[in-house]
Chains A and B, each alone.
Chain A
Amino acid sequence: MKPYFARVLSIYMIAIAGCNSNHPEIVTGRIHPEQEWISNLIEANERTPLMRLAVPDTINKEKARLHSIDPIVQIGKIEEDSKLMFGYIEDLAVDKKNKRIFILDARYNEIRAFDYNGVFLFAVGGPGVAPGELQYPQAIDFDDKNNTLITLDRNRSVQIYSVSDTSIAYSSSFKVDFPPWDTCVMNGHVFARGYSEEVKSTVLKYRLDGTRVGSFGIYYDSENPFVRQTLSPRGQVVCNRESNTLLVSIDHIPVFFIYDEEGTDLRRIYLDAFDPIDIIEGVSPDGRPTLEYTAPKKGENILSRFFTHGSDFFVQYFTVEQKGGRHLFKFDPNAETGEYMGTLGEVTFDIDLTQGYLFAASNRPYPRVFVFDISI
Chain B
Amino acid sequence: MTEKYRIHNILFSIFCILVLLLSFAVGFVANPFFLDTLTSRIGFLPNMLHSSTVNPAYYIPEYKAKHDVEILFVYIGSHSCKFSNDEDLPSLIEQAKLITQDLAREHKYEMSTLGAAIDWSVENGLRHLSKFGLFDEIISGRKWQNTAARLFIYENIPGAAATPQLVLVKRKFAPSSFGRQIVEEKLLVRKVGKDEIEDWLSIGAPIPGFTSDISVGSN
**A78, B206: Cβ atoms closer than 8 Å:** yes
Binary per-residue interface labels of chain A (63-84) against chain B in the complex, 1 for a CB within 8 Å, 0 otherwise? 0000000000000001111110
**B216, A80: Cβ atoms closer than 8 Å:** no
Task: Tell me the smallest distance from the CB of B70 to a CB of chain A, in Å.
Answer: 19
Task: Tell me the smallest distance from the CB of B209 to a CB of chain A, in Å.
Answer: 6
A136 within 8 A of B: yes
- B165-194 with Cβ < 8 A to chain A: 187, 189-192
CA distance A123 to B161 in the complex (A): 24
Contact A366 B199, CB 8 Å, known A82-B216, A106-B160, A108-B187: yes
**B158, A136: Cβ atoms closer than 8 Å:** yes
CA distance A364 to B215 in the complex (A): 24
Residue from A82, A129, A135 in contact with B214 in the complex, judged by beta carbons closer than 8 Å? A82
Chain A contact residues: helix, strand, loop or mixed: loop
B212 within 8 A of A: yes
Binary per-residue interface labels of chain B (191-217) against chain A in the complex, 1 for a CB within 8 Å, 0 otherwise? 110011001101110101101101111
CA distance A87 to B209 in the complex (A): 13
CB-nearest residue of chain B to A108? B217
CA distance A110 to B200 in the complex (A): 20
CA distance A106 to B187 in the complex (A): 12
Residue from B196, B200, B206, B218 in contact with A124 in the complex, judged by beta carbons closer than 8 Å? B218
Residue from A80, A106, A126, A135 in contact with B218 in the complex, judged by beta carbons closer than 8 Å? A126
**B206, A79: Cβ atoms closer than 8 Å:** yes
**B190, A107: Cβ atoms closer than 8 Å:** yes
CA distance A94 to B43 in the complex (A): 59
**A88, B192: Cβ atoms closer than 8 Å:** yes
- A43-92 with Cβ < 8 A to chain B: 78-83, 85, 87-88
Which residues of B lie under 8 Å from residue A366 when comparing CB positions?
A: 199-200, 203, 206
**A136, B218: Cβ atoms closer than 8 Å:** no
- A142-188 with Cβ < 8 A to chain B: none
Residue from A108, A125, A365 in contact with B216 in the complex, judged by beta carbons closer than 8 Å? A108
B52 within 8 A of A: no
Which residues of A lie under 8 Å from residue B192 when comparing CB positions?
A: 88, 107
**B195, A126: Cβ atoms closer than 8 Å:** no
**A109, B208: Cβ atoms closer than 8 Å:** no
**B189, A87: Cβ atoms closer than 8 Å:** yes
**B199, A126: Cβ atoms closer than 8 Å:** no
CA distance A88 to B189 in the complex (A): 10
- Can you pick out 18 interface pairs between chain A and chain B where the beta carbons lie within 8 Å of each other? A82-B208, A85-B206, A87-B190, A88-B192, A88-B196, A107-B159, A107-B160, A107-B192, A108-B187, A109-B158, A124-B218, A125-B218, A127-B158, A129-B158, A134-B158, A136-B161, A365-B199, A365-B202
Chain B residues engaging chain A, CB cutoff 8 angstroms: 155, 157-161, 187, 189-192, 195-196, 199-200, 202-204, 206, 208-209, 211-212, 214-219
Chain A residues engaging chain B, CB cutoff 8 angstroms: 78-83, 85, 87-88, 106-110, 123-129, 134-136, 363-366
Closest 7 CB pairs of A and B: A82-B208, A79-B206, A126-B218, A365-B199, A85-B208, A135-B158, A107-B190
| A-B contact sample (4 more), CB < 8 A, given A109-B217, A129-B158, A363-B199 | A87-B189, A108-B190, A125-B218, A127-B187
